[in-house]
A and B are shown apart, each in its own frame.
Chain A
Amino acid sequence: MFDNLSEKLGGILDRLTRRGALTEADVDAAMREVRRALLEADVALDVVRGFTEKVREQAIGATVVKSVTPGQMVVKIVHDQLIATLGADGQTIDLNAPAPVPIMMVGLQGSGKTTTTAKLARRLTSRDKRKVLMASLDVYRPAAMEQLAVLGRDLEIQTLPIVAGQKPAQIARRALEAAKLGGYDVVLLDTAGRTTLDEEMMTEAAEIKAAANPHEVLLVADSLTGQDAVNLARSFDQRVGLTGIVLTRIDGDGRGGAALSMREVTGKPIKLLGTGEKTDALEDFHPDRIAGRILGMGDVVSLVEKAAAHIDAEKAARVAEKMRKGQFDLNDMREQLQQMAKMGGIGGLMGMMPGIAKIKNQIAAAGIDDHILKRQMAIIDSMTRQERKHPDILKASRKKRIAAGAGQKVEDINKLLKMHRNMADMMKMMGSGKRGPMAGIAQAMGFGGGMPSPEQMKAMAEKMPKGADGLPQLPKDLPAGLRTGLPNLPGLTGLSGKPTLPGLGGFPGFGKKK
């Protein structure tokens, strides 16, 4: 269902062998697929129309750069236009007003307002060092006020004491009063969920706004929203006057087209993304990530960031050094397995890689999951120190003992040892050691090449432009495997004149039928 747009466009346009400018006919054929892809990503139809029109204008007559297929060229134009539409980076919560700064959260029922309120409070408290007061104005949903109170208690952030029987606007005034007296910097007002058709509730929201005069009015909206995204964003904007949008559940497998719709109809920036259930799962908005997602190209930047955050660079460098000298033993391998597990396991990594949606299912079908990492670590844990250092001494009886100890079969031990041998061999071949140990793991597990090495990860993390547009600048001397990867990888190469990202290499083992 979620076919990759570039793959589809490739199918249409790659038949054209000639080079040069894209003709109108080429572009028309491509636009049908672009339209379909956007609709499948839940971009609202009217937004799709305007969008494809803009892309068409740019695409007709655009010169196809050498070494880029027409399909890739169109994807690039679409991608750039998506980023242009989604807006600039770095628009975050504006606290530039006299304290206490009131921030009002609005949205439909179940969009995640209360959770987002708590997340925002936590972020403002711990990162921005503000004193935050939270107040729930939801007098309708059972236990809504308790929910915020519980979250506040867990986070050690003050919530306004609950007074039964007060109207939302009264609570808002009381919250501001309490914040003034208590010397708070920010007051977060969590309002009740409402449908945009509910006149009474929309009036109430307007009343709250009048009472609190909030500096920010944030629409909390579910990124899984379908075509209705335009209606709800427009209505809330017209009735309450938004200053920004927070998209929640971005950690789902939705394509996030609602982001484009809401941004386009309101012109209001998307300021934050809710990326998980925990209260620290709140991130700044980067248009390129959402653009990649809408196109089904994965979230490469997040992958790299996550990798950078979870890999102990020093430790990894030490292992890499050992590998280069051909001293890679099972202890080192265990460490690598553990780091993979930390990065969210195989599933977590897959989810962020481009063009993987389909392969992901095949992996699931093949029964490859994170248990493999755990089982392999268990096998290594069942070995003696000497065995880990010198796997060569492992013969039948030792293997039997290890298998029993780890609760595995002897063949599993053999598989692991083969994997280790492959990795060690590869390391020797590498010689210069440009590719890191992760690459070895990936390859040996049948993932093909191209996991970035720790050094690369570190380099990426350093070079990652904070808040700049586009993909991060990466070292040019990346493994060749990247360019010969899966056929259905989005031809990122040369798309934007930026070097290919690492880690996008082939997944040969999974691309084929079992």
Chain B
Amino acid sequence: MNDSNPEQPKQSWWRRLSSGLKRTSSSIGSAVADLVIRRKLDRAMLEDIEDVLLRADLGTDVAAKIAAAVGHGRYDKSISADEVKAVVAAEVEKVLAPVAMPLAIDAAQKPFVILVVGVNGSGKTTTIGKLASRFAAEGRKVMLAAGDTFRAAAIEQLKVWGERTGAPVIARAQGSDSAGLAFDAITAAKTAATDVLLIDTAGRLQNKAELMNELEKVVRVIKKVDASAPHAVLLVLDATVGQNALSQVEAFHRIAGVTGLVMTKLDGTARGGILVALSQKYKLPVHFIGVGEGVDDLAPFTAPDFAKAIAGIES
């Protein structure tokens, strides 16, 4: 709530991430600093460090693990705030480093089919818009498929993104079969020699069997046109999500074969620490993070930066 930092209009993504994560970092940072100034490293303090991590949505297990790592070999010694932050960052980075992988587009696959899935309101359509703009800027020929045939005006929303990025949008009427639409889209993308086809899907809660079956069917139908597709299945997660993200990843991975994660809305007060827990448990690549509403506000995910931001280390 204290926005003392007047921000420049155009910043590096790191600046944007840091300001997005500012709440997280500053609260962790200052909390840790408080702790260290007051007393030396003992059990109570480790518990407090754990609490601080819990507040960032790291979850009970991972928070306990990292707190333990902070305590390892330092017990009963006095330790500075910076040291604590560095250890926290290092531990977080250790978990995140293996999953920080860019989304590689295999040029041999034409079209390279990307299916975007997630629960309602996680930011799938916006992410597709940003990805389309990114791929178009890289000189790729992009096509969009308006596979969210359920939500009112979802198709229109994607069409607006199509106009902004110059990508053709394959759409059918609202309420039509999304698997059939995916079929049409891949066929059209093949004919038009498209490089990347981004397929939107309707948001669905992972515990709804019938909706998950529908998603399974979309994947099955895609495979009919191109057995190697979808070449990437991105699960879009909202940064505000709590421990339920674990269940989301599990279910979407099982049904749709998720190949990578995108975390959106890191520009709010949300902390996104659940990514650490997810990485620990599922080891799925994290490709991008969304740090704003602009077309360019989608940044590749890099472990050291994210870890530092979570630990509250200013760069």
Contacts and interface: CB of A to CB of B under 8 A. Distances in A.
B135 interface: no
Contact of A110 (B20, B55, B123, B157): B123
A39 interface: yes
A264 to B, nearest CB: 15
A228 B157 contact: no
Given A197-B268, A231-B23, A253 B152 contact: no
B20 to A, nearest CB: 8
B244 A238 contact: no
Q: Is the interface of B mostly helix, strand, loop or mixed?
A: loop
B271 A249 contact: no
Contacts of A258: 242
A102 interface: no
Interface residues of B, number: 53
Interface in A246-271: 249, 251-255, 257-258
Interface stretch (B88-96, B191-199, B201-209): B201-209
A250 B301 CA distance: 30
Given A227-B57, A249-B119, A151 B1 contact: no
B243 A40 contact: yes
A252 B211 CA distance: 12
A150 B153 CA distance: 7
Given A195-B267, A235-B269, A253 B3 contact: no
Interface in A223-251: 224-229, 231-232, 235, 238, 249, 251
A214 interface: no
The contact size tier of chain A is 35 or more
Interface in B1-55: 1, 3, 19-20, 22-23, 51, 54-55
Contacts of B121: 109-112, 222, 249
B152 A227 contact: no
Contact of B153 (A112, A146, A199, A225): A146
A146 B22 CA distance: 34
B242 A252 contact: no
Interface in B128-175: 129, 150-154, 156-157, 159-161, 174
A110 B265 contact: yes
Contacts of A249: 119-121, 205
B31 to A, nearest CB: 11
Given A140-B293, A143-B160, A224 B244 contact: yes
B62 to A, nearest CB: 12
B98 to A, nearest CB: 22
A228 B240 contact: yes
B292 to A, nearest CB: 9
A228 B156 contact: no
Given A112-B120, A197-B269, A226-B57, A146 B156 contact: yes
A226 B274 contact: yes
Given A42-B243, A228-B271, A147 B153 contact: yes
Nearest to B123: A110
B238 A110 contact: yes
A142 interface: yes
A252 B265 contact: no
B56 interface: yes
Contact of A109 (B20, B156, B265): B265
B152 A277 contact: no
Contact of B247 (A142, A151, A253): A253
B122 interface: yes
A147 B159 CA distance: 13
Interface string A1-35: 10000000000000000000000000000000000
Contacts of A36: 60
24 contacts: A108-B265, A112-B120, A142-B157, A143-B154, A144-B153, A146-B152, A147-B154, A148-B152, A150-B174, A195-B269, A224-B242, A225-B242, A226-B240, A227-B55, A227-B57, A228-B239, A231-B269, A251-B205, A252-B206, A252-B244, A253-B207, A253-B247, A257-B242, A347-B209
Given A110-B121, A196-B269, 8 more contacts: A36-B60, A42-B242, A44-B55, A143-B153, A147-B157, A226-B57, A252-B119, A257-B242
Interface of A: 1, 36, 39-42, 44-45, 108-112, 140-144, 146-151, 154, 195-199, 222, 224-229, 231-232, 235, 238, 249, 251-255, 257-258, 277, 345, 347, 351, 369-370
Interface of B: 1, 3, 19-20, 22-23, 51, 54-57, 59-60, 119-123, 126, 129, 150-154, 156-157, 159-161, 174, 205-209, 238-244, 246-247, 265, 267-271, 274, 293
